[in-house]
Amino acid sequence: MKISVPREIKNHEYRVGLVPHSVAELTHRGHEVFVESRAGAEIGFSDDDYIAAGAKILATAEETFAAGDLIVKVKEPQLHECARLKPNQTLFTYLHLAADKPQAEALMASGATCIAYETVTEPQGGLPLLRPMSEVAGRISVHVGATYLHKAFGGRGVLLGGVPGVAPGKVVILGGGVAGINAAQMAVGLHADVTVFDVNPHRLIEIDTAYGGRVKTAYSSKGAIADALKDADLVIGSVLIPGAAAPKLVTRDMLKTMKPGTVLVDIAIDQGGCFETSHATTHQEPIYLVDGIVHYCVANMPGAVARTSTLALNNATLPYVVKMATMGVSAALAADPHLRAGLNVCAGKITYKAVAEALHLAFAA
């Protein structure tokens, strides 16, 4: 199979779909890999590294997209990238279509087969291709939250861990999934006062047991969240409904009850965000204020640590790329129901129910 790896073009996005070691695994199996020049250069993977792994370097995005049967990316394609896709091609990347109708319609118009990392499943019930980036985003969320609590950025001027004689900052984490647990781990490490909200009582028991009481747990109800926000210094939104738009757990009215300079970090922004006042930001301009509350809503948070993120993502995606390259995409989808769960767009139709419902588009089973 011919596999193409374009250079990512979103703001401050330096991740790459395949690293040289992944390319070597594919070329060793007899597949052709085409990599756009400098696709991995910003995170230490040179064109020479890819050539040594057996890849062919192409000068432009147009050439790279045209060369492959399977296009492996990281972030969702921009509209002009969607226009480069053909009906006989397969796109394998994060899509997050539930919050992006223009992209969904552009992918439908392309006729390409589009498989979303974030809805591929596993026998245990998890989301194996979303997990590594959720781990990274959860950990980053506490780093950036602690930074933007600095007074110079509009924050409250609170040190999350406090000091002897001064109480630690209060961190509220909405969602006890992979991102939320990783956020809690980092916040506990900084000696913050941490509370995790979730709707799954069993999950709350697991968190309580794992942290031996160092993390408080609470059932996620509107009233309980509203009460917690009044005293919070940092609020991390990490709720997830696979493939669907994120629920709005923090309303604009709730902001008025919060302390000025409180920081909101919306990990769910790729799925539309879980704060009513969220809108996507970039690493170049990461924050904005609403009613005195700092919002950090960068849509590609793991891109801040692009080398770590790329390596972690490749560990998860490579087995699926190998399977599709070896069996062919149609056969791989037919044989693996968990890969098939990642199919979001095919032959001009939306094939993932939650996406169709979120965008009010027809669903094709």
Mean pLDDT over residues 194-215, rounded? 95
Looking from the CA of 30 toward its CB, the CA atoms found within 13 Å total 3
| pTM of the shown model | 0.91
Catalytic status, residue 270: yes
Note whether 263 and 155 are within 8 A (CB).
Answer: yes
Catalytic status, residue 96: yes
> pLDDT over 70 for what percent of the chain?
100
Mean pLDDT over residues 205-216, rounded? 94
Note whether 220 and 249 are within 8 A (CB).
Answer: yes
Number of H helices, E strands in the chain: 14, 15
Q: Residue 11: pLDDT band by 50, 70, 90 thresholds? A: confident
Which two three-digit tokens encode residue 132?
């590594």
Task: Measure Cα distances from 184 to 22, 230, 309, 344 in Å.
Answer: 32, 19, 19, 31
In the set 69, 100, 233, 270, the catalytic residue is 270
In the set 96, 100, 198, 295, the catalytic residue is 96
- Res 250 pLDDT > 90: yes
Mean pLDDT over residues 36-59, rounded? 98
Query: β-strand 2-5 against 70-72: which pairing, if any?
Result: parallel
**150-178 pLDDT per residue, tens:** 999 999 999 999 999 999 999 999 999 99
**71-130 pLDDT per residue, tens:** 999 999 999 999 999 999 999 999 999 989 999 999 999 999 999 999 999 998 899 999
Q: What is the pLDDT of residue 169?
A: 98
